[in-house]
């Protein structure tokens, strides 16, 4: 007489191997997906770091502000366009020397120019093209201003003197100092740790739910069948 291991035992081993293969495949897929996400996140972080100063969001809804503070230093007077085809000040952000006179010139539309703290004011909104208003800035600092009829979307900034703007003196961009940008390697390490912790638990649950298939609850004697020779 001879003995052989039951088909149930073989099935149990095959099922375990199948489960592990499935888990490994899932982990690999998750790693690829998370890696792609990590790359996108890193790229987003780079884009954010390369943008210009936000002036506490003052220009966030200004359609023609791309992060550049136009350097107009070295001039006694400069001109900023008001309105026209779009509801904008053009350029929306400039840097000048102390003592420079800024002249706003109407290009079209009904507008005015008012300082954030109303320290200067062109008066009631005007519609005549060619209307001008001027203001001389003597002290260093960041001066914010707006158009009252279009507050929120038509706003501007005059940077007077050598004032630090976030990450750069001349509009070089605010850097995400202190921000953590998730990279591919950091995400991969995190995924590996999570899978390492969860895999034994998931496998135990898998075995428990499929104990009848794996011969669970049977004694070791039942794993052997006697076959008449």
Q: Could you give the CA distance from residue 48 to residue 36 in angstroms, rounded to a whole number?
A: 19
Q: Which domains can be identified in the chain, with CATH numbers?
A: 2-47+181-227 (no CATH), 55-160 (2.60.40.420)
Tally Cβ neighbours within 10 Å of residue 45.
16
Q: Could you give the CA distance from residue 69 to residue 173 in angstroms, rounded to a whole number?
A: 10
Residue whose C-alpha is closest to residue 136's, from 93, 163, 104? 104
Q: Could you give the CA distance from residue 113 to residue 158 in angstroms, rounded to a whole number?
A: 12
The model's confidence at residue 13, banded by pLDDT at 50, 70 and 90, is low
Range with the poorest average pLDDT among 47-56, 141-150, 218-227: 218-227
Query: And the tokens for 95?
Result: 């840097």
Indicate the SS3 state at residue 31. Answer: helix
Strand locations in 22-154 (E): 70-71, 77-83, 89-90, 93-96, 100-108, 114-115, 132-137, 141-146
Q: What is the pLDDT of residue 48?
A: 37
Q: What is the pLDDT of residue 175?
A: 32
- pLDDT at position 40 over 80: no
- pLDDT at position 66 over 80: yes
Residue whose C-alpha is closest to residue 187's, from 46, 48, 31, 50? 31
Give the pairing type, strands 132-137 and 100-108.
antiparallel
């Amino acid at each position: 007489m001879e003995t052989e291991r039951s088909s149930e035992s073989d099935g149990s081993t095959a099922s375990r191997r199948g489960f592990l293969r499935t888990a490994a495949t899932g982990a690999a897929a998750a790693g690829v997906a998370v890696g792609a996400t990590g790359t996108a996140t890193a790229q987003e972080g780079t884009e954010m770091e390369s943008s210009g100063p936000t002036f506490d969001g003052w220009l966030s809804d200004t359609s023609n502000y791309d992060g550049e503070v136009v350097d107009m230093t070295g001039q006694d007077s400069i001109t900023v366009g008001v309105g026209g085809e779009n509801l904008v000040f053009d350029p929306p952000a400039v840097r000048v020397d102390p003592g420079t006179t800024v002249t706003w010139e109407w290009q079209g539309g009904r507008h005015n120019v008012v300082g954030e703290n109303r320290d200067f004011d062109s008066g009631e909104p005007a519609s005549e093209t060619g209307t001008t208003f001027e203001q001389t800035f003597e002290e260093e600092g960041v001066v914010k201003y707006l158009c009252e009829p279009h507050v929120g979307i038509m706003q501007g900034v005059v940077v007077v003197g050598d004032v630090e703007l976030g990450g750069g003196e001349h509009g070089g961009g605010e850097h995400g100092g202190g921000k953590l940008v998730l990279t591919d390697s950091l995400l991969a390490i995190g995924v590996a740790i999570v899978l390492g912790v969860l895999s034994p638990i998931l496998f135990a649950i898998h075995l428990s739910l499929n104990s009848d298939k794996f011969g669970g609850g049977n004694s070791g004697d039942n794993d052997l069948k006697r076959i008449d020779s």
